[in-house]
Amino acid sequence: MCAQQDAQYTQYMYNTQIINPAYVGSRETLSFGVLGRYQWVDLEGSPKTGTFTVNLPVGLYDNMGIGLSIIHDQIGPAVESNAAIDFSYALHLARRNVSKLSFGLKVGADMLDVDYSKLNLSNPNDPFFQNNIDSKIQPQVGAGIYYNTQKFYAGVSVPNFLSIQHFDEQSLDDENLEGVVVERLHYFFIAGYVFDLNPNLKLKPATLWRMVDGAPLQWDLSANFMFKEKFVVGASYRWNASISALLGFQISDSIFAGVGYDYQSTAIEDYSNGSYEVFLRFDIFNKAEKIVAPRFF
């Protein structure tokens, strides 16, 4: 089976570390992030995803970053958990404009469980579905490049270069390997820019492209407005898939909360009540001068 397998996120602009390790350390502070996604509500077996990230700058000139990213993804009978350490090294191209080019490495492990008893099988005695996949662990090695100034960012990444296979014991004796689930390489491109429309209003258009062998190209385009450094209102469009509404609130200098809602533009909307996402970020500042204005990315 080959298809798009990694979880998708509507608030991808706040969840960059999950897909690009070069992002770690770029906020120049100790930063925690938690995201929860409930996709296709009321559809039995629909995807449910949770992520946790933490990262901070290290080094004499804060030119390195280190972090931890965790993903827990459940869809139907399959539960996949992933934990990775993220590293980055940044080159300061122009200090006056805070222009940095960062290179990142992601190293971790992925664990898959599949309980076939949760499926409604037409033939419960089908030999293919008799042996569950229990805690199958596979390594992960990924990399990324991230460039940012105070107003612009762009990045390319591959979260996992290893095209790994998940299998049950029976598929080992199958010459055709029909029971093998192959995870393909996912290629990501992200970019965004912050426009200062007036002293109290900012506009940030952003985009994400995801390419996977054997799956259609996924393209997300979003636009968010920030009012008085506090309120964020926006919308997002996922090509041939969904239209989303985004809301955010800078609760304090350290805490930002966001919510997202997807309306599916495909036939699946007839069987579900959309998709929901919540996000919370908590920053711990060491230097007061860094709290000039909330970061919009």
Residue pLDDT tens, the chain, 297 long: 334 457 889 999 999 999 999 999 998 899 999 999 999 998 888 899 999 999 999 987 778 999 999 999 999 888 999 999 999 999 988 766 678 999 999 999 999 988 877 777 777 766 666 677 787 899 999 999 999 998 999 999 999 998 765 544 444 445 444 445 556 789 999 999 999 999 999 999 999 999 987 778 899 999 999 999 999 999 999 998 899 999 999 999 899 999 999 998 888 888 888 999 999 999 997 655 455 456 677
Any idea which fold 12-120+136-290 has? Porin (2.40.160)
User: What pLDDT is attached to residue 76?
Assistant: 85
User: What six digits make up the tokens of 91?
Assistant: 């080159």
User: What pLDDT is attached to residue 168?
Assistant: 47
User: What pLDDT is attached to residue 1?
Assistant: 38
pTM for the whole thing? 0.86
User: What pLDDT is attached to residue 178?
Assistant: 45
pLDDT in tens, 212-223: 877 788 999 999
User: What pLDDT is attached to residue 294?
Assistant: 61
User: What pLDDT is attached to residue 282?
Assistant: 94
User: What six digits make up the tokens of 282?
Assistant: 């908590």
Rounded Cα distance, 242 and 22, in Å: 28
User: What pLDDT is attached to residue 89?
Assistant: 96
User: What pLDDT is attached to residue 290?
Assistant: 52
The full 3-state SS of the chain, as one line of letters, equals CCCCCCCCCCCHHHCHHHHCHHHCCCCCCEEEEEEEEECCCCCCCCCEEEEEEEEEEECCCCCEEEEEEEEEEEECCEEEEEEEEEEEEEEEEECCCCEEEEEEEEEEEEEEEECHHHCCCCCCCCHHHCCCEEEEEEEEEEEEEEEECCCEEEEEEECCCCCCEECCCHHHHCCCCCCCEECCCEEEEEEEECEEEECCEEEEEEEEEEEECCCCCEEEEEEEEEECCCEEEEEEEECCCEEEEEEEEECCCCEEEEEEEEEECCHHHHHCCCEEEEEEEEEECCCHHHCCCCCCC
User: What pLDDT is attached to residue 293?
Assistant: 55
